[in-house]
Amino acid sequence: MGAAKKPAEGAMTLAEMKEFAGFAASTQRYIRRSLDIGLDRDDAMARWSRDVVEAASIRAQARLYRALPEIRQRVPDDADLSQIEPFLTPLTTLAAFDLGQGRLISFSAFRFLYERLIGAEVRPWLPSAFCGAAALPHLHPEVRRKLLQSISEAAATASGWSNRQPVFYPKWVEKVDTGSATLSH
């Protein structure tokens, strides 16, 4: 059974890598930065901060992302209305921050990031959090329009979601100088 599962995992990893590669470079950078902060990988400030404005943004993001462990624990199992507010309110707040940074310019980029920050179980809730955050007045009306138009009808009205956890978690990769590489045995 293990051998039969391997090709499917490889195909899914490749599909996730292709999806990530289809995002703009600034979106890819923001997703990697956000994963470093949200998953406590590496030193995000040292790796991603290029100036004082970006450093302030990273500090603000890190403060907001401190809510991630609680959000992960509060993902509702069903549509129990009593569970929605303590979960969806902080999730929408995080989404509003991330969308306000101007790097997640589509629902697919938002979904890609949040599936990795929180897990597959968040999928049914992502359209609500995205639409709620994308409609907030802190975004320019044209940005709101583009974001809201980026969610497909299928994504907004899906009757079910996969519970398969993502497998590709993009990270920073140092450039390697291949011009002077030599082979040694």
Q: Is the Cα torsion angle 162, 128, 74, 28 positive or negative in sign?
A: positive
Give me the half-sphere count of Cα atoms (radius 13 Å) on the Cβ side of residue 144: 12
Instruction: Specify the amino acid at residue 72.
Output: R
Q: What angle do CA 101, 105, 109 make, to 5 degrees?
A: 105
Q: Give the pLDDT confidence score for residue 112 in this predicted structure.
A: 97
Per-residue pLDDT tens over the stretch 135-148 = 999 999 999 999 99
Instruction: Provide the pLDDT for residue 183.
Output: 42
Q: Answer for the pair 172, 42: CB distance below 8 angstroms, yes or no.
A: yes
Residue 13's pLDDT is 86
* Distance, first Cα to last Cα, the chain: 38
Q: What is the amino acid identity at position 21?
A: A
Predicted confidence at residue 140, as pLDDT, reads 97
What pTM, to 2 d.p., does this model score?
Answer: 0.86
Asked if residues 121 and 45 have their Cβ atoms less than 8 Å apart, the reply is no
pLDDT for the residue 1: 44
What is the rounded CA–CA span in Å between residue 106 and residue 99? 9
Query: In the numeric block, which tokens belong to residue 3?
Result: 């051998």
In total, the chain counts a number of residues equal to: 185
**Low-confidence stretches of the chain (pLDDT beneath 70):** 1-8, 173-185
